[in-house]
Amino acid sequence: MWRNIASNALTLFVVVLIAVGGLIAWGKAQYTAEGPLEQAICLRVDAGSNMRRVANELAGDGAVSSPSIFRMGAEYSDKAGLLKAGAFLVPEGASMAEIVEIVTRGGASTCGTEVVYRIGVRQAEIRVRELDPATERFADVAEFVPGIGEVPPKYTQVREDRNTRYRIALAEGVTSWQVVEALKAVDFLEGEVTEVPAEGTLAPEAFEVTVGAGRTELLAQMEALQSARLAEAWANRADELPIDTPEEALILASIVEKETGVPEERGQVASVFVNRLRQGMRLQTDPTVIYGVTNGQGVLDRGLRQSELRKETPYNTYVIDGLPPTPIANPGMASIEAALNPERTPYLFFVADGSGGHAFAETLEQHNANVAKWRVIEAEAAKEAN
């Protein structure tokens, strides 16, 4: 009898083990399987929250089929204690395992609201943007220029939300003075800037910042990135360029940056200046003259005067030979690469062609014909404006 009881108990134990094993396997499959979420959502995780609370919220949003399996999966993968506060984009069909990874890996919030402070050549403006989870695209909900006009209520509202992301975005071609003045005007940065960084040494890029970040530290980050970019491009430069140092490359890149806003033209524009330097021709480029007039402080909202084109200054490339003494703006990586790996062309001249780009020429005769066409376009535009 005892033998039968032991045998039955063992059988029952084996059945239970099989059932438990099957249940675990089923749970694992559920944890890693595609989730039921039909449309992406923005999940907000508050500071001090826990996996139970998050699991219940996800279940309410239709993102997980079982809050219990979600919590157990997080525990089993040793991630239950790694929950991060923030606003996170949970994509359509995300598995429970993927969602756990999203809310525990850290880093910046991936959805919700962001404040982008764009420092442009003409002005700096703040844009408040919100992500639409359905399209995974940001849309502007408010914008203003710091120090000018009223601050939108939406901006005041998002400033009180600790999950709001902040980015400083430098446009290509801004000057160091413009960057410093713009950083002084924004209210979510701290610290004084006692010195304007050298022209050309700041990288046009978007920088993630936090409220209370130091202005000086941010400028140092911009300088470090530009230095690394220049070093990489210099190491991969073309042979036999008529420039001898990375500093000269940065000067040339800044001129390319200010001469064209058409990405596809950068290599051709760079080739014109490289060809001129090789032949000992003066660069004769208006942006350098303008920099000599403004010192990089603001925009010259008028045409250059003949007296300015004739006046001998370190930046008047109609008068001086070679490059000006410093960059005239902060060039982006594409312009740096164009300056150090220009296209191979016979061009020595270019002029605006009315389309936003330029007409290039090998000879002065061809160039004069292009200039004549441009003058006609200018005259017609002036007539229409009147």
- pLDDT tens for 276-299 read 999 999 999 999 999 999 999 988
pLDDT of the chain, 386 residues: tens digit per residue: 555 554 555 555 444 445 445 555 655 777 888 888 888 888 888 777 888 888 898 888 888 888 888 888 888 888 888 888 777 888 888 898 888 888 888 666 667 788 999 999 999 999 998 877 777 777 888 889 998 878 888 888 888 777 788 999 999 999 999 999 999 999 999 999 999 999 999 999 999 898 999 999 999 999 999 999 999 999 999 999 999 999 999 999 999 999 998 999 999 999 999 999 999 999 999 999 999 999 999 888 888 889 989 998 999 999 999 999 999 999 999 999 999 999 999 999 998 888 888 999 999 999 999 898 888 887 887 777 76
Q: What pLDDT score does 376 carry?
A: 87
What lies within 8 Å, CB to CB, of 310 at 6+ separation is: 318, 319
pLDDT one-digit tens code per residue, 360-375: 999 999 999 989 888 8
Q: Which amino acid would we find at residue 366?
A: Q
How far from the centroid of its chain's Cα atoms is residue 14's Cα?
Answer: 60
- Is the domain 25-104 a CATH 3.40.1160.10 member? no
Q: Which amino acid would we find at residue 245?
A: T
Q: What pLDDT score does 343 carry?
A: 95
Q: What pLDDT score does 5 carry?
A: 55
Q: What pLDDT score does 18 carry?
A: 53
The pTM score is: 0.77
Q: What pLDDT score does 34 carry?
A: 86
3-state helix, strand, coil in the chain (%, to 5): 45, 15, 40
Strands 189-190 and 349-352: unpaired
Strands 358-361 and 349-352: antiparallel
Q: Which of 144, 86, 74, 94 is nearest to 111 (CA)?
A: 86
Burial class of residue 58, CB neighbours in 10 A (0-12, 13-18, 19+):
buried
| CA distance to 130, 269, 322, 350, 356, per residue, from 374 (Å) | 43, 18, 27, 11, 12
Q: What pLDDT score does 14 carry?
A: 47
Q: What pLDDT score does 180 carry?
A: 96
Q: What pLDDT score does 19 carry?
A: 47
pLDDT one-digit tens code per residue, 337-359: 999 999 999 999 998 888 888 99
Q: What pLDDT score does 24 carry?
A: 59
Q: What pLDDT score does 219 carry?
A: 97
Q: Which amino acid would we find at residue 383?
A: K
Domain ranges of the chain: 25-104, 113-230, 238-385
Cα–Cα dist 54/70, whole Å: 9
Asked if residues 269 and 305 have their Cβ atoms less than 8 Å apart, the reply is no
